[in-house]
């Protein structure tokens, strides 16, 4: 049974042939039970006739002696079935087997089926205990071989799945000798990332894939990661972790490493991910954030997906303008800037902009943290998420208090000037009427022109 190089089928055939010869019966076969369908399938058979339990044949469980064997969980022996009271048993009626010796087969503790030795002719002598023990031994050996074969198949399937997953993995994977740091295996993503083919990579150490100036740091990082099994994108000094390609380009990466014990030694599995796009996005985000922080106008961002649209960001100009620090502003609705003299009409413009998700501008009287009023020119603009739905509102605030004061002063001056001018023009118009009445000819006409012009200016 343990002969090297033999397939499971060969081992089963040899075991059945040995048992058939030892017991002196015509047929030996193995049945696999299918509880769901109530059938037994003949998976191997030795001996004749050819029509008796052929390999691949499906049997009705109810017409087999093996059903009794499996129910008993122990060998069942018949030397002359009719004389032993089995003449009306469905198995005898169906197959006419007078002689039967079968034992249950278990695989990993679960019932698999039976190994059976049968003959249509009765046996002269009862089966001895040694013969029953022999069949039990065959059943155990067959169960062990079936378990081993199943285990090997599972290992093969698992290896194929792992290989498929590794090759299909988007991240670069390197298997590195823990003692020498030499690369022993890579997946396709590793060759794509580095620009080296698999053969070239397996002639390199993992340290060769990093810029010369950072290899010392990488050496310590590699050991720390392998011990802790962690992931990082920075070197110990805080600088970006990079991989150097075959073309000399440097790619920012995120890397993890963990120790693995294989049959031939200890290895480190290194996983590297290209984070170029993420690094670029982070740089752009930092630039935008810095630009907003240092902008000369107040900028606020409110979350449109949360109840009451709370602020999630305000820049320095906003805090300088309003007197509220970030901690006080973040998490609240911007209406905290409104006060007793804030006009409802101006607030309605903002409400309408939010409701209709449109850009609107209005001027409203707001109040600083110390209660001082100031005029705020506010522009509200919706920001759409990738799904097209509005996710945020950006507010741009400008302190236009000085401009509003100038406009008010100009208005007052204009009214004063118009009042004074009206009084002066009234006097001039009166004099013109007097002159026109007291004179005639050219002088009277000129006086009337003066009067009309004065009244037009009034």
pLDDT tens profile 80-93: 999 999 999 999 99
CA-CA distance, 431 to 70, in Å (whole number)?
Answer: 136
In a domain, 71, yes or no: yes
Which has more confidence, 93 or 48? 93
In a domain, 404, yes or no: no
Taking residues 316-340, what's their average pLDDT? 94
Q: Is 227's pLDDT higher than 90?
A: no
The answer on 217 and 244 residing in a single domain is yes
Which has more confidence, 34 or 452? 34
Q: Is 419's pLDDT higher than 90?
A: no
pLDDT, tens digit (0-9, with 9 covering 90-100), for 179-207: 899 998 888 899 999 999 999 999 999 99
Residues with Cβ within 8 Å of 325's Cβ and at least 6 positions away in sequence, in order, are 319
Counted domains in the chain: 4
Rounded to the nearest integer, the mean pLDDT of the chain is 88
How would you label 415-434 residue by residue, b for 16+ Cβ within 10 Å and e otherwise?
A: eeeeeeeeeebeebbeebee
CA-CA distance, 241 to 257, in Å (whole number)?
Answer: 14
In a domain, 376, yes or no: yes
In a domain, 163, yes or no: no
In a domain, 148, yes or no: yes
pLDDT, tens digit (0-9, with 9 covering 90-100), for 265-316: 888 889 999 999 999 888 888 888 888 888 889 999 999 999 999 999 999 9
The answer on 241 and 108 residing in a single domain is no
Q: Which domain holds residue 99?
A: 8-153
The answer on 173 and 139 residing in a single domain is no
The answer on 378 and 430 residing in a single domain is no
Predicted local confidence at residue 4, as pLDDT: 60
Which has more confidence, 231 or 168? 231
SS (H, E, C) 24-81: CCCEEEEEEEECCCCEEEEEEEECCCCCCCCCCCEEEHHHCCHHHHHHHCCCEEECCC
The answer on 302 and 181 residing in a single domain is no
């Amino acid at each position: 049974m343990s002969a090297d190089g033999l397939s499971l089928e060969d081992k089963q055939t040899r075991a059945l042939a040995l048992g058939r010869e030892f017991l002196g019966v015509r047929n030996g076969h193995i049945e696999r039970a299918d509880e769901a369908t109530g059938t037994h399938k003949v998976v191997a058979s030795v001996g004749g006739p050819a029509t008796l339990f052929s390999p691949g044949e499906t049997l009705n469980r109810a017409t087999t002696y093996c059903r009794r064997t499996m129910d008993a969980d122990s060998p069942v022996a018949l030397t002359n079935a009719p004389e032993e009271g089995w003449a009306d048993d469905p198995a005898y009626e169906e197959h006419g087997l007078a002689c039967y010796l079968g034992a249950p087969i278990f695989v990993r503790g679960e019932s698999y089926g039976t190994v059976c030795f049968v003959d249509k002719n009765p046996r002269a002598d009862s089966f001895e205990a040694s013969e029953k023990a022999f069949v039990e031994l065959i059943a155990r050996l067959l169960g062990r071989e079936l378990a081993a074969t199943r285990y090997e198949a599972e290992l093969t399937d698992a290896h194929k799945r792992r290989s498929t997953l590794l090759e299909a993995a988007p991240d670069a994977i390197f298997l590195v000798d823990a003692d020498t740091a030499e690369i022993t295996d890579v997946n396709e993503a590793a060759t794509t990332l580095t620009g080296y083919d698999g053969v070239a990579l397996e002639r390199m150490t993992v340290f060769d894939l990093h810029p010369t100036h950072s290899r010392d740091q990488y050496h310590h990082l590699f050991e720390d990661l392998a011990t802790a099994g962690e992931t990082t994108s920075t070197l110990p000094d805080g600088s970006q972790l990079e991989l150097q390609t075959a073309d000399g380009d440097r790619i920012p990466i995120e890397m993890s490493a963990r120790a693995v014990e294989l049959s031939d030694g200890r290895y480190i599995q290194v996983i590297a991910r290209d984070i170029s796009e993420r690094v670029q996005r982070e740089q752009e985000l930092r630039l935008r954030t810095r630009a907003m922080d240092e902008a000369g106008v107040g900028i606020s961002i409110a979350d449109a997906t949360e109840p009451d649209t709370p602020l999630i960001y305000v820049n320095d100009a906003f805090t300088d303008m309003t007197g509220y620090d970030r901690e006080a502003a973040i998490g609240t609705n911007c209406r905290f800037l409104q006060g007793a003299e804030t006009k409802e009409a101006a607030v309605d413009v903002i409400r309408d902009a939010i409701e209709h998700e449109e850009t609107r501008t209005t001027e409203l009287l707001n109040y600083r943290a110390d209660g001082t009023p100031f005029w705020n020119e506010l522009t509200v603009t919706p920001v759409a998420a990738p799904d097209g739905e509005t996710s945020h509102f950006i507010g741009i605030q400008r302190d236009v208090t000085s401009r509003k004061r100038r406009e008010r002063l100009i208005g007052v001056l204009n009214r004063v000037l118009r009042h004074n001018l009206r009084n002066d023009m009234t006097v001039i118009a009166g004099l013109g009427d007097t002159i026109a009445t007291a004179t005639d000819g050219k002088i009277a006409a000129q006086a009337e022109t003066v009067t009309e012009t004065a009244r037009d200016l009034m």
